[in-house]
Amino acid sequence: MSIIIFIMAKSSFGVIFFLLHIIFLSYVFIAHSAPESALVTHLPGFNGTIPSKHYAGYVTVDESHGRNLYYYFVVSESKPFEDPLVLWLNGGPGCSSFDGFIYEHGPFNFEKNGGNLPKLHLNPYSWSKVSNIIYLDSPAGVGFSYSKNESDYQTGDKKTAIDTHTFLLKWFELYPEFLRNPLYLSGESYAGIYVPTLANEIVKGIDAGVKPTLNFKGYMVGNGVTDEVFDGNALVPFTHGMGLISDDLYQEVVSECDGNFYKPLSQSCADKLAKVDEDVSGLNIYDILEPCYHGTTTWKMKVTELLSSSNLRLPSSFLKLGETQRPLPVRTRMFGRAWPLRANVRDGIVPTWPQLLQTIHVACTDDDIATTWLNDKLVRKAIHTAEESVVSSWELCTGKIEYNHDTGSMINYHKNLTSRGYRVLIYSGDHDMCVPYTGSEAWTRSLGYKIIDEWRAWTSNDQVAGFTQGYDKNLTFLTIKGAGHTVPEYKPQESLDFYKRFLNGMPF
């Protein structure tokens, strides 16, 4: 606003004309800017001043069905109208993007407070330090998003991408002042599917002249699911490189399986893979360095039960993600709805496997803080969620949706999008065994782009923070040393660094 007035004042119009313009501009400004009703004015558990404007509410993506997506929008703490606008998506499928907000890169650190409301402290490494960021619960049925027609809970990649595109178009109608900011997408885990499929919808929309025109620039994916074969083949080299299996077993599995660890074609290969699984089965899949509370017989039995249950509504393609054949406990969690791990595993009893497809908790995770805070009546009111009669409770990851992975491999999406000049960062916490870096490194390399920045260390705070390889067409692969599946949760400072560098187009 002040910039516009300044320009007007410098123009040679008369004073009255100038004042009329101010009145007119004020009108436009009021009529076309962030909805005041969405403004978050206070947050239970937080005593200070919220460091930038926060907005939250719903966008209806389908009027006839009453399908509504919930967003929480954090305005940049730096330069709101210049900094990039980033959409953040957690994966699952079925996990709420409050995972990112609460545990990864949101404006607050949440301190556990017994069973009481957590205490919120400012997060010095919040991604809102350098960007505007929208946390979106997607698809409908996840987090606080819902549909009045429950048939919408049967969904998949294609429908999700279309809905999220609709969300963005309608969101910009509410917040048109952010239309000129560079737009980026980001997400982790199963958002390795959400992000490129959404990018594809956005680009199709831009090509077709859909209004408003999105100023789309690129995207970031962390430990993202990408391709059944690359991701499926990633585990064996990862376990060997990390010292989790012996040289002997590695050599045997390589020769028995002939490099195909994904779909064992012989019994002897399957047997070797089962031994690999057995060796790593006690580890925390989301960060092999972290402790894990699991491994009881009951747990294994429950999982086996789950997998053989006819009630299991997971699509077969999804079941195959990272599969080796024998569903041992650690690996089966890959098929669970909850990929993200709570790093700080605290009072650590494995929750009983709750009612099938109602609330699924995953061992090694602790979502207490998020669950306590987001189910508090005053918090829900403060962040403008639907009434409890509409969305009864918030779950980190829901079993409510039936989700079909219906877009196959993401490799062609990445090829097409990078060829069109969109900037892409594929980053990976190198201690994640859920979507190991070995898969992401291999598929990015497989695109065959010229290496323009050969594998080297990158640094943060004068320390090696990981490794990177830069390719032609603005594609970068980057690891974060010592981080697990949900990178900013483990390495917040390093994460803010690579995030900032990517958004600014700076070298890592």
Ligand X SMILES: *[C@@H]1O[C@H](CO)[C@@H](O)[C@H](O)[C@H]1NC(C)=O
Q: Which of 337, 332, 329, 310 is nearest to 320 (CA)?
A: 332
Going by the DSSP 8-state scheme, the letter that residue 398 receives in this structure is B
Smallest distance from ligand X to CB 201, Å: 10
Residue 200 as a binder of ligand X (CB under 6 A): the answer is yes
Report how far apart, in Å, the C-alpha atoms of 33 and of each of 101, 182, 387 are. 24, 18, 26
Q: What share of the chain is helix, strand, coil (3-state, %, to 5)?
A: 40, 20, 45
Size (the chain), residues: 508
Active site residue 485: yes
Residue 473 as a binder of ligand X (CB under 6 A): the answer is yes
State which of residues 21, 53, 119, 500 lies at the interface with ligand X (CB under 6 A).
Answer: 119
Smallest distance from ligand X to CB 69, Å: 17
The interface with ligand X within residues 64-93 (CB under 6 A) comprises: 65
Smallest distance from ligand X to CB 390, Å: 15
Query: Given the DSSP bridges, would you call strands 67-74 and 85-89 parallel, antiparallel or unpaired?
Result: unpaired
How many chain residues are in contact with ligand X, going by CB under 6 A? 14
Hey, what are 224's tokens? 């993202």
Active site residue 428: no
Give me the catalytic one of 128, 189, 428, 440.
Answer: 189
Smallest distance from ligand X to CB 84, Å: 11
Dump the DSSP string for 229-263: HHHHHSHHHHHHHTTSS-HHHHHHHHHHHTT--SS
State which of residues 54, 240, 333, 423 lies at the interface with ligand X (CB under 6 A).
Answer: 423
Hey, what are 108's tokens? 């607050």
State which of residues 5, 326, 416, 449 lies at the interface with ligand X (CB under 6 A).
Answer: 416
Smallest distance from ligand X to CB 473, Å: 5
Residue 354 as a binder of ligand X (CB under 6 A): the answer is no
In contact, 126 and 81? CB cutoff 8 Å: no
Give me the catalytic one of 163, 485, 495, 497.
Answer: 485
32 or 158: CB nearest ligand X: 158
Q: Which stretch binds ligand X (CB under 6 A): 3-11, 134-142, 375-383, 410-418?
A: 410-418
Sign of CA dihedral 373, 94, 391, 128: positive
CA–CA–CA angle 221, 223, 228 (5° rounding): 100
Residue 109 as a binder of ligand X (CB under 6 A): the answer is no
Q: Which stretch binds ligand X (CB under 6 A): 32-40, 238-246, 408-416, 433-441?
A: 408-416
Residue 255 as a binder of ligand X (CB under 6 A): the answer is no
Active site residue 432: yes
> 147-154, long-range: CB within 8 Å, 24+ apart, which pairs?
147/62, 147/65, 147/66, 147/67, 147/68, 148/65, 148/66, 148/67, 149/65, 149/66, 149/67, 151/65, 152/62, 152/65, 152/67, 153/400, 153/401, 153/402, 154/401, 154/402, 154/404
CA distance 307 to 254: 28
120 or 235: CB nearest ligand X: 120
Binding track, positions 28-67, relative to ligand X; x by CB under 6 A: -------------------x-----------------x--
Q: Which stretch binds ligand X (CB under 6 A): 314-322, 329-337, 394-402, 415-423?
A: 415-423
Smallest distance from ligand X to CB 85, Å: 16
Smallest distance from ligand X to CB 505, Å: 5
Residue 291 as a binder of ligand X (CB under 6 A): the answer is no
In contact, 219 and 427? CB cutoff 8 Å: no
In contact, 469 and 454? CB cutoff 8 Å: yes
Give me the catalytic one of 432, 460, 495, 497.
Answer: 432
Report how far apart, in Å, the C-alpha atoms of 59 and of each of 137, 165, 337, 354 are. 11, 12, 24, 31
Q: Which stretch binds ligand X (CB under 6 A): 294-302, 369-377, 411-419, 484-492?
A: 411-419
Smallest distance from ligand X to CB 181, Å: 14
Which of the residues are catalytic? 189, 432, 485
**Contacts with ligand X, residue ranges (CB under 6 A):** 47, 65, 119, 149, 151, 200, 412-413, 416, 421, 423, 473-474, 505
